Amino acid sequence: MVSRIVQVAPFDLVVFGGTGDLAHRKLFPALFHRFLDGQFSQPTKIIGVSRHDFDNSSYRGSIAKALKQFAGGSSTDEAIKGFLAMIHYVVLDIGSDLGWDRLEHQLEKEHERVRAFYLATAPDHFGAIAQKLAAHSLVTPASRIIVEKPIGKDGASAAFINDAIGAVFPEERIFRIDHYLGKETVQNLMALRFANALFEPLWNSAHIDHVEITVAEAIGVESRAAYYENSGALRDMVQNHLLQLLCLVAMEPPASMHADAVRDEKLKVLKALMPIDARNVEAFTVRGQYRAGASEGGAVKGYAEEVGNPHTMTETFVALKVEIANWRWAGIPFYLRTGKRLPQRVSEVIVAFREVPHSIFTVESGKISQTRLAIRLQPDEGIKLWLMLKEPGAGGMRLQHVPLDMNFAEAFSIYAPEAYERLLMDVIRGNATLFMRRDEVEAAWRWIDPIREAWNHLNEPPRPYFAGTWGPAAAIALVERDGRSWNEETI
């Protein structure tokens, strides 16, 4: 099957933090793939900006290196050369007023041409960059700004950043990236729910027993110790990626795929989350921190050793029991967990349906397990519907739990684009459906902040777990207390 490519009109994309990790690992490889697929029309310009001393040629050299490392091996030198011809570099210290004229000089002047400013920098700089863009008259009516999570570290700092960007760009031209929303299977969650008549009638507390969302990583904190120490898994993963997944699973059907229609429904879910605070934090949350162990095929250090802080209280694992106080979901637990240095990289949503009300089968037929829908985000993107079926053969009625298995790579046999490819093209097209609106980000923080405050108040260290295991035993107990267990069938 061939994916359909609709070309976008020529645009200017300015990448602040153009020499950084995000730009090299994710943004340029994503742009390169879109270029290879013929999605760009010319003349399109991509302008890297940072204070490091590069010229066009040395910058292009560093991008070429990044593409070889991070864009998959199949591209020819010719293709890379064609892509690099669109790339330019401007030396600019965002703290200074000098150099902005050089940036202006690189930008095309037609007012209707899309100008996208991607802030691949620390969030502390978002407001200042927006203000400088305005002060140097670089913001045209077709300009838009793209910011990355984390937007703030709590509700107050998020509001501060949103105010600063909002003073220059109207909300509909602010694109807040949560790259999980660009993942193919995450979008498929909407297709699955709203393009099939099968699930939606069952998608409620009358038929669903519980929902589980796991985002597990095998990696540790890598080179991001300084950031991670001040963040931890709750802010780094739950406030954004896991809550966004939860919203897509739990939201009411939006009237359309229009950005605000979808975001209105997600916001309602965030507002309906049952608060977790000092009163119930111990019953509903588990924090963990990895100790030395075995991971990714070798011995690895513990977190405290990695960040050089023996007293660190930062969590590298969180498990939560979340409830949504509305008619559709009242009483149905959503179990969320995420962590670093877990046994493998796997992200999935499990929707476990209620058990049959009465079994007509004898004990010899075996146990009837729940019908489970497993939506696998990564790796091996796909969907499995676990059903009870009869084991083949003449040996009587023996039942087995088996999956209807839909692996996207096999089913569609086309290259699945990386999240950033889809998201960057959506920015250029002006489609904000897969981006977070201001009120969503702030509502998510409003729910997260009391959890963090309650943890601070408890002042207990996170529970230890060995690298390469599924987190502290208390995370298993969190689910088992309710007579359930984390899904193991697909992991």
Residues in contact with ligand BG6 by CB under 6 A are 217, 236
Bond into 254 cis (ω within 30): no
By C-beta, is 333 or 382 nearer to ligand BG6?
A: 382
Nearest distance, CB of residue 314 and ligand BG6, angstroms: 12
Establish whether 24 is a catalytic residue.
no
User: Could you give the C-alpha distances from 376 to 118, 176, 187, 248, 259, in angstroms and in order?
Assistant: 29, 24, 12, 14, 24
Nearest distance, CB of residue 377 and ligand BG6, angstroms: 8
How many angstroms separate the CA atoms of 226 and 229, rounded? 5
By C-beta, is 217 or 348 nearer to ligand BG6?
A: 217
Nearest distance, CB of residue 217 and ligand BG6, angstroms: 5
Nearest distance, CB of residue 381 and ligand BG6, angstroms: 12
Longest distance between any two alpha carbons in the chain, whole Å: 82
Which residues, including other chains, have CB under 8 Å from residue 168's CB and lie 6 or more apart? 130, 131, 133, 134, 139, 145
By C-beta, is 236 or 315 nearer to ligand BG6?
A: 236
Nearest distance, CB of residue 426 and ligand BG6, angstroms: 17
By C-beta, is 217 or 442 nearer to ligand BG6?
A: 217
By C-beta, is 217 or 315 nearer to ligand BG6?
A: 217
Site of tokens 């702030």: 442
Nearest distance, CB of residue 18 and ligand BG6, angstroms: 20
By C-beta, is 220 or 333 nearer to ligand BG6?
A: 220
State the amino acid at position 209 in one-letter form.
Answer: D
Contact of 110 with 6, CB cutoff 8 Å: no
By C-beta, is 236 or 426 nearer to ligand BG6?
A: 236
How many angstroms separate the CA atoms of 78 and 65, rounded? 14
CA quadruple 23, 28, 34, 37: dihedral, nearest 10:
-160
CA quadruple 264, 148, 442, 313: dihedral, nearest 10:
140
CA 490 remoteness from chain centre: 21
Which is catalytic among the residues 105, 111, 241, 258? 241
Nearest distance, CB of residue 236 and ligand BG6, angstroms: 5
State the amino acid at position 257 in one-letter form.
Answer: M
By C-beta, is 303 or 353 nearer to ligand BG6?
A: 303
Residue whose C-beta lies closest to ligand BG6: 236
By C-beta, is 8 or 146 nearer to ligand BG6?
A: 146
Bond into 275 cis (ω within 30): no
SS3 370: coil
User: Could you give the C-alpha distances from 440 to 69, 170, 187, 215, in angstroms and in order?
Assistant: 35, 16, 18, 21
User: Could you give the C-alpha distances from 474 to 219, 237, 271, in angstroms and in order?
Assistant: 22, 20, 28
478: its two tokens = 């969190």
b/e string for 258-295 if b means 16 or more Cβ within 10 A?
A: ebbebbbbbbbbbebbeebeeeebeebbbbbbbbbbeb
DSSP structure class, residue 300: E
By C-beta, is 22 or 474 nearer to ligand BG6?
A: 22
Please list the alpha-helical segments (H only) found in 348-437.
Answer: 408-412, 419-429
Nearest distance, CB of residue 454 and ligand BG6, angstroms: 23
Site of tokens 């070798």: 298
Nearest distance, CB of residue 189 and ligand BG6, angstroms: 15
Site of tokens 């029309």: 41
Nearest distance, CB of residue 222 and ligand BG6, angstroms: 8
52: its two tokens = 């490091």
How many angstroms separate the CA atoms of 265 and 258, rounded? 11
Active site positions, annotated? 241
